[in-house]
Structure 1
């Protein structure tokens, strides 16, 4: 088993899965499929008035939900409950937390497959050694026969020796200590008994990945690798590293799934308790014929997913006097998006503080190497930077809201505390969920301009933190120094300039095309279809926020102003088909602008990770050899089978570090 076997153990994976562009392709495909499936579901189901929405509107609403934007082109209270549930499910499937689980699970599965193959390879080589020396082995056997319900008996033979026990399962043998025999047999018997298949590989796969047994097997495999000369020190280090990362991915996957479920469940329960305890909140829902339980579940899920949907046409404006609902939903909005990474970091830190044994080691590995495992988990300093940045941005917008619109008509009738709460909620929603607790048309123009800027930079704190902490330089592979500096430089200043230039170009082209498509409406209704209103709607869709200035009949001019009807949905719902289709593409483009690079360290499959770890090991060994002033001691035993490497200057490097160095550090 050579180093190449680690990197090529994923050969049973499709070739296209191993390409750097695979993540982006799968991500785009996933959202396209969900968007069109949701569109057909919305289109086929009639609304409450028995009318079917047009397919363009269905595609618009479906894309808005799956990209967690929150814009809508029809009355949400006029939708059938099935259509409302479809929007809810699309929000869940498109949320940041849920989609981040896919690469985490895929990498965990890939590590498991590779490590299983390596375990089987080592056991096969151990078997060959045992067969060659079988005549010399001392056997004191005790046979245990297991009769299957469907097939012939399987045998587990325990051969006792002086210090160890040889365990054999249908041709695969390994030595374990006597004190480990009971535990080993217990798991073997559990998984062999009653199984119809006699494939020993399946039996071993199922037993060795038990957490309480893997540590025993890994120790024996590593010992066999050393004593039986089946591998070299680099491969042993690779096994340890990949096994630790597999355990870290497993624990992290469980933590994120639990977080995803428990936060939304807790939000639903607390909202439900408040609604039952608040008569005024209950009256608001009864007046709009909205079920309290459904309202609690809907707002908990859509707020966590940052879609910002509400079952009321007027969003959260009816609850502007309810401080608990507004502050609590603000918290849920933050922990479901920008503060998701810091929350996971805090949870792991607490578990690491109180953990014991192997669990503590895994949590320590996650804290020490967060970006090796997850796209939303950052080192301590960057996590603190993200928290401070998010809090500073929200505080800044809240302050300006209080200064610019403290006496505006949008907050008339509210006391001091209620105005502060509304300002906090609106500031949080501007960059994330898109709910509104005030009528945006009543806000000052300067505040609307500030909102445009906040929506534009909605993803910047998390994106820049991710880019700053992504893969080190060696993960750029074969890239030259110039290419690396241009495309893989992780400095925040470089990444922010790159992102600003790209986004500005996209916004300019989209607004230009939108003005062409809506030119007739702009000429007939210039106040509602002002360029600023179009820019506001485009940036809201591009930032996946969902705020909208709406459409006001009071601003309509001309002879047809008397026949105008107010629409309780987004301003873009009044656009023509071409404008809606372009905004659908805008929302789709915005959902993919903040994705991590394909070379992100948390997206690399084990095949590429193994190659990079091998490269790092060789580089460190080369540095040791250059810095060493004395030659390495020569070993008497034959090393012809040992792997050697050659650096860029032609220096041949042995596979073992100098004597006296820590062997596990390779």
Structure 2
């Protein structure tokens, strides 16, 4: 028995060492695009297996493999489209989806990139120590002959700044997630209308608070409720809490990051030279979400202006429509603000998108298609920094990169035509739900990793409208995304679109 245990421990140690070596090799030698693609595929497959193994809370519901794979991909790519009723899932499956959204989020990947870059910078330290130990006898002569160069100082400062940024981003994520979950839980515990919704749906309050906070902060968009946040449309406080979390985890993260660094410098939580160097040398640090002062202020001003314009247009077009039925003026403005923010990133809806005015839906579609300003700024910085080493590095896997850098407009047009082919039978029998506009809206939402959807309604089924006396026509309302009504080939095509959309920022930087 001890011999078998020794063999088992040795084998486990060998597997762990091999895994660490493979991860380091992939991180340091493969291109960013291939690394992220492998990362998303591995996490996606593991999430799919976990969702299939775990049983749903509704014992009468037997989930299909295609739907579970679609849901896992939607969580990993932080898209938020769902082809099943979320309330049919068990608490353990909700935990898996929450973990998938966190692991696939831009925030976690940025933190992981900082850790890898910091370890890469420290990789040469042992060699430097060995060289200095060999020449220690002549160190005084070398110091007199060769003065210390500024490049050495800047390299050391950059290493310490990367370590400092790792700490800052980690603390930022922990504080936002912990504080956000606590505030959501306290709101639900003290507001009867929100508490009654979860009680009626038999959803655990603590699990809901954590899942909603992670979904908002990571811009995942998947909620434990079937109707997303539409059942909380009258709860202004909850919608505003989630709005702040969405902005803190996406478009305004560079602004909050600068505020945190400035606050840590004021509170003297780190050496003064590290925050000063980071604030004044953002390009040298190489963190995409760390922008110069001017660009950070421009980003904040432009985001506020864009949200304000969207709120005004949305209210003007839908103020007296069925979208805001039963809501007060303050609740209408809060819901308009919530939708304006979600149309950029998270995709959580507090209203029925199928009732929104067409002009507002077109605006949502443009906002979903347009990438975040942070990615635009980082792409500009990468273009300025490109040199011979950068060009040589991007030549690796050039054929794959060229395939991935297909024009997004051409790709989306091809996907829309392909979806129209796979769903041609539904288009002919249900032209109101399966309209070309709804298909385009769903594809753009998947490509932008947003998750807004017009859904599918039995009230728009043309056969029921023309022949209400026919009893053979059966339609059941299902509160999930429009893609949930698609055929299996159509869902698989949308899975590829979600993965492509999640990687679009990386292949643009490698092209």
1:532 pairs, out of 421, 434, 437, with 437
Matched, 1:553 2:470: no
Is contact 2:251-2:372 (8 Å) kept? no
Deviation at 1:354, TM superposition (A): 4.7
Equivalents in 2 of 1:519, 1:72: separation in Å? 22
Paired with 2:205 and 2:442, the residues of 1 have a C-alpha distance of 31
Q: 1: distance between equivalents of 2:260 and 2:141?
A: 38
- Name the structure 1 match of 2:254: 341
Pair 503,123 (structure 1): closer, same or farther in 2 beyond 3 Å: same
2:314 equivalent to 1:305: no
Cα distance in 1 between the residues matched to 2:387 and 2:293: 22
Structure 1: state its 5+ residue gaps.
1-12, 130-220, 484-498, 601-666
Q: 1:297–1:61: structure 2 CA closer, same or farther, 3 Å change rule?
A: same
Contact 2:111–2:166 at 8 Å: present in 1 too?
A: yes
Question: Which residue of the partner structure matches residue 49 of structure 1?
Answer: 58
Change (3 A) 1:479 1:281: closer
State how far apart, in whole Å, the 1-side matches of 2:506 and 2:267 are.
34
Residue 413 of structure 2 is aligned to residue 508 of structure 1:
yes
Structure whose CA Rg is larger: 1
Measured in 2, the distance between the counterparts of 1:224 and 1:475 equals 36
Runs of 4+, deviation exceeding 6 Å: 13-16
2:111 and 2:481 map into 1 onto residues whose CA distance is 31
Cα pair 1:115 1:243 within 8 Å, conserved:
no
Deviation, 1:466, is 1.4
Residue among 24, 30, 33 paired with 2:39: 30
Q: Is it true that 1:90 corresponds to 2:100 in the alignment?
A: yes
Q: Distance in 2 between matches of 1:225 and 1:96?
A: 46
Partner-residue secondary structure (3-state), 1:70: coil
User: What residue in structure 2 maps to residue 573 of structure 1?
Assistant: 484
With structure 2 as the length reference, what TM-score do the two structures score?
Answer: 0.87
Residue range with higher mean Cα deviation, 586-595 or 46-55: 46-55
1:382-418: per-residue Cα shift (whole Å, max 9, x none)? 1111111211211111010111000011101111111
- The CA distance in 1 between the partners of 2:359 and 2:390, in whole Å, is 49
Deviations 1:76-129 (A, max 9, x none): 0011221111101101101111011122111111111213321221122115x4
8 Å CA contact retained: 2:405, 2:508: no
The CA distance in 1 between the partners of 2:63 and 2:46, in whole Å, is 15
Q: Which residue of 2 aligns with 1:462?
A: 374
Q: 1:331 to 1:46 in 2, by over 3 A?
A: same
Cα deviation digits, residues 362-400 of structure 1 (max 9, x gap): 111111122332121111111111111211211111010
Q: How far is the alpha carbon of 1:478 from its aligned partner?
A: 7.7
Q: 1:664 aligns to what?
A: none
**In 1, are the aligned partners of 2:319 and 2:332 still within 8 Å (CA)?**
yes
Q: For the structure 1 residues 109 and 340, does the alpha-carbon distance in structure 2 shift closer, same or farther, using more than 3 Å as the test?
A: same
Change (3 A) 1:561 1:383: farther
Give the secondary structure class of the aligned counterpart of 1:438. Answer: coil
CA distance in 2, matches of 1:599, 1:240: 30
Query: Which is helix-richer, 1 or 2?
Result: 2
Considering fraction of residues, name the structure with more strand: 1
The answer as to 2:197 corresponding to 1:284 is yes
* 8 Å contact from structure 2 (residues 33, 507) kept in 1: no
Shift of 1:597: 5.8
533-542 or 445-454: bigger deviation: 445-454
**How far apart in 1 are the matches of 2:510 and 2:317?**
44
Matched, 1:360 2:369: no
Q: Deviations over 1:536-594 (max 9, x none)?
A: 11011101011111111111123687311111111101111100000000000010112
Cα distance in 2 for residues equivalent to 1:596 and 1:254: 28
Structure 1 residue 372 corresponds to structure 2 residue 284: yes
Post-superposition shift, 1:237?
3.3
Q: Greater CA deviation, 367-376 or 433-442? A: 367-376
Q: Which moved more, 1:511-520 or 1:544-553?
A: 511-520
Deviation (angstroms), 1:595: 2.9
Q: Is 1:476–1:599's contact at 8 Å kept on the other side of the alignment?
A: no
Asked if structure 1 preserves the Cα contact closer than 8 Å seen for 2:184 and 2:209, the reply is: yes
Aligned to 1:48, what secondary structure does the other structure show? coil
1:412 and 2:303 correspond: no
**SS of residue paired to 2:87:** coil
Q: Return the alpha-carbon distance in structure 2 between the equivalents of residues 26 and 591 of structure 1.
A: 13
Change (3 A) 1:280 1:33: same
- The change in CA–CA distance for 1:450 and 1:296 in structure 2 (over 3 A counts) is same
**Residue in 2 that maps onto 1:624:** none
Q: Distance in 1 between matches of 2:405 and 2:391?
A: 24
Name the count of aligned residue pairs.
473
Residue 449 of structure 2, aligned match among 544, 552, 562: 544
Call closer, same or farther: CA 1:508–1:255 in 2, change over 3 Å: same
TM-score scaled by length of structure 1:
0.67
1:239 Cα deviation after fit = 2.5
Question: 1:591 and 1:599, CA in 2 relative to 1: closer, same or farther beyond 3 A?
Answer: closer
Which residue number corresponds to residue 424 of structure 2? 519
Match of 1:589 in 2: 500
Instruction: Give the aligned partner of residue 226 of structure 1.
Output: 143
